[in-house]
């Protein structure tokens, strides 16, 4: 059973860059079966898909965030990461990592709350 766990800072200052890591267990991040997604949810609001990474190296980003987002993979650690630059209060959210098959997010991490504040 695939399991995912997010890690990273809970507080980021405005204009800084957020870096989050998702550690995958129970499966290989190099598997051709999965896409590796980041999704976020502002407090009390709905879900927003940020982007994903496929083992072949292909990445897909939400155009609304594309200029600020980078998703990368560290196969040696079975991890994938999110970097989101120029953070503002509007980026305050719970950030989820997920493993997706055919576009369907079947396995999710528990989520990590990131607050943007000085």
Partner 1 sequence: DIHMTQSPSTLSASVGDRVTITCRASQSINSWLAWFQQKPGKAPKLLIYKASSLESGVPSRFSGSGSGTEFTLTISSLQPDDFATYYCQQYNTYPWTFGQGTKVEI
Binding site for partner 1 (CB under 8 A): 46-49, 51, 60-64, 96, 102-106, 108-111
Name which of 12 and 37 has its Cβ closer to partner 1. Answer: 37
Nearest approach in angstroms of CB 32 to partner 1 is 18
Nearest approach in angstroms of CB 96 to partner 1 is 6
Name which of 16 and 92 has its Cβ closer to partner 1. Answer: 92
Backbone angles phi and psi of 56, in degrees to 5: -70, -15
Nearest approach in angstroms of CB 74 to partner 1 is 22
Nearest approach in angstroms of CB 98 to partner 1 is 8
Name which of 16 and 21 has its Cβ closer to partner 1. Answer: 21
Name which of 63 and 90 has its Cβ closer to partner 1. Answer: 63
Backbone angles phi and psi of 91, in degrees to 5: -90, 0
Q: Give a three-class secondary structure readout of 31-58.
A: CCCCEEEEEEECCCCCCEEEEEEECCCC
DSSP string over 13-31: -TT--EEEEEEEESS-TT-
How many residues are there in the chain?
118
Question: Going by DSSP bridges, is the β-strand pair 112-116/11-12 parallel, antiparallel, or unpaired?
Answer: parallel
């Amino acid at each position: 059973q695939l399991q995912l766990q997010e890690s990273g800072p809970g507080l980021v200052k405005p204009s800084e860059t957020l870096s989050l890591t998702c550690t995958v267990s129970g499966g290989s991040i190099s598997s051709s079966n999965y896409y590796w997604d980041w999704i976020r949810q502002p407090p009390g609001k709905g879900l927003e898909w940020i982007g994903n990474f496929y083992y072949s190296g292909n990445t897909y980003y939400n155009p609304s965030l594309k200029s600020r987002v980078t998703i990368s993979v560290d196969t040696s650690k079975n991890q994938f990461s999110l970097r989101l630059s120029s953070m503002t209060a509007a980026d305050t959210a719970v950030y989820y990592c997920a493993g997706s098959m055919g576009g369907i997010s079947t396995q999710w991490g528990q989520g990590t709350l990131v607050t943007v504040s000085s």
